[in-house]
Amino acid sequence: MHDIRYIRENAAAFDAALARRGMEPVSPSILAVDTARREKILAAETAQAEQNKASKEVGAAKARGDEDEFQRLRTLVADKKAEVARLNDEAKAEDAKLAEMLMGIPNLPFDDVPDGADEEDNVEIKRWGTPREIDFDAKEHFEIAGVVPGMDFATAGKLSGSRFVVLTGSIARIHRALAQFMVNTHVDENGLTEAWTPVLVREEMMYGTGQLPKFGEDSYQTTNGWWMVPTAEVTLTNFVNGETIEEATLPRRYVAHTQCFRSEAGSAGRDTSGMLRQHQFEKVEMVSITKPEDSRGELDRMTACAEGILERLGLPYRTVALCTGDMGFGARRTHDIEVWLPGQNKYREISSVSVCGDFQARRMNARFKPTGGGKPEFLHTLNGSGLAVGRCLIAVLENGQQADGSITLPEVLHPYLGGKTTLTAEGTLI
């Protein structure tokens, strides 16, 4: 959420930053509501002062026996009391209207975010690894002989419908091994604190990280009001919801492996084959909570953490800076990491790492207390995939595929698979 004082003092700059996202100016409508709210508050304060003054004079009029003045002042006090109540109610209504408007405005992009309309305007900032030469017709993950026995879309469709999958046997084990490898790497090598969190959250937690109110259709809500998390960003970031923490405890860096749920409302007809885009999936999520001056550098550190997982797995990737038109609602800058999928002959997103500045912290009222004293300041928050487990499984399977339908597995996974190195064309680990 945005600081209304910043908008008052920098209206033109605020609108110019939003224009980079393709938005029309919003400051005139925002400031009109803000002005009305402040006028109501001032009028209520003035009426309250008049009520207080009249209340003091009532006793004096009674004491000197001035019945007419006494009655006039009593009526004035009652009228002012009603006026104060009415003006306060009107001010609260304007305040709620202002908050709703501010909640619906996306974050402002950093100056170094490339301008553009969509993903075609994203800018590559790094490329690692060279896709291997495959001298046979590379298959997509769900077509590989060794994968077919353990990746069941028909049974998932019977159980739950489209965009679900049942993993069994060796494929389920490789999927689990990937998640364990990711979490262990982030904890043991990258210094993150592991967390296990709920996947059902209160509505205010979804507001805190920006999934609500604008993107409710992208998530699932239970009949009793809980929301199913689209990512552990929601839970991990909201650890500091409503808190004022000590500066000395920063940065706070978390990682969690959770189930995630997305309706994929805006992706009808896209990636309908295989398990690239699912309603239910697993992700290893990273969240950092920092001081303002540290957040931009933290974005680069988190990006490197995610990239390191792919490098350890030997999977070629490229990293792109998202342009203003492709960046998410709460981000000030985003790095997408795209892994090479030979079955599709293209790079596909496997991680998105974003710095949000104080945008989420304002929504959550999350602050830190400076060590040297002074007024508490809003925290800065960051989030990123480290990585999407299902998509990483796809990448491992497709990049390791052999002509006979078997799959050579990355060396770093061998200890998690009991020393086994290969998925045979029959779907067994050896």
Is 143 annotated to bind a ligand? Reply is no
Q: Residue 424 burial (CB < 10 Å; 0-12/13-18/19+)? A: middle
Is 222 annotated to bind a ligand? Reply is no
Note if 352 is an active site residue: yes
Is 352 annotated to bind a ligand? Reply is yes
Note if 202 is an active site residue: no
- Please report, to the nearest 10 degrees, the dihedral formed by the alpha carbons of residues 230, 236, 242, 247 taken in order: -150
Catalytic site residue from 362, 391, 398, 406: 391
Q: Locate tokens 């969240």: which residue?
A: 287
**Over the chain, what is the mean pLDDT?**
96
Question: What sign for the dihedral angle of Cα 351, 20, 206, 304?
Answer: positive
CB 233 within 8 A of CB 383: yes
Model confidence at 272: pLDDT above 80: no
Work out the pLDDT band at 173, boundaries 50, 70, 90.
very high
When mean pLDDT is compared across 88-92, 214-218, 220-224, 249-253, the lowest value belongs to 214-218
CB 285 within 8 A of CB 196: no
Classify domain 4-103 by CATH number. 1.10.287.40
Distance (Å, whole) CA 68 – CA 66: 6
Residue among 297, 280, 374, 291 at smallest CA distance from 333: 297
Domain residues of the chain, as ranges?
A: 4-103, 119-423
Is 385 annotated to bind a ligand? Reply is yes
Q: Which fold has domain 119-423?
A: BirA Bifunctional Protein; domain 2 (3.30.930)
Q: What is the pLDDT of residues 94-151, one digit of tens each?
A: 999 999 999 999 999 999 999 999 999 999 999 999 999 999 999 999 999 999 999 9
Average of pLDDT values for 233-242? 98
Note if 354 is an active site residue: no
| Angle, helices 169-188/389-399, rounded to nearest 10 degrees | 110
Model confidence at 64: pLDDT above 90: no
Q: Is the pTM of this model over 0.85?
A: yes
At residue 20, φ and ψ (nearest 5 deg) are -65, -20
**What confidence score (pLDDT) does residue 226 get?**
97
* Tokens coding 387: 């990585």
Note if 5 is an active site residue: no
CB 349 within 8 A of CB 338: yes
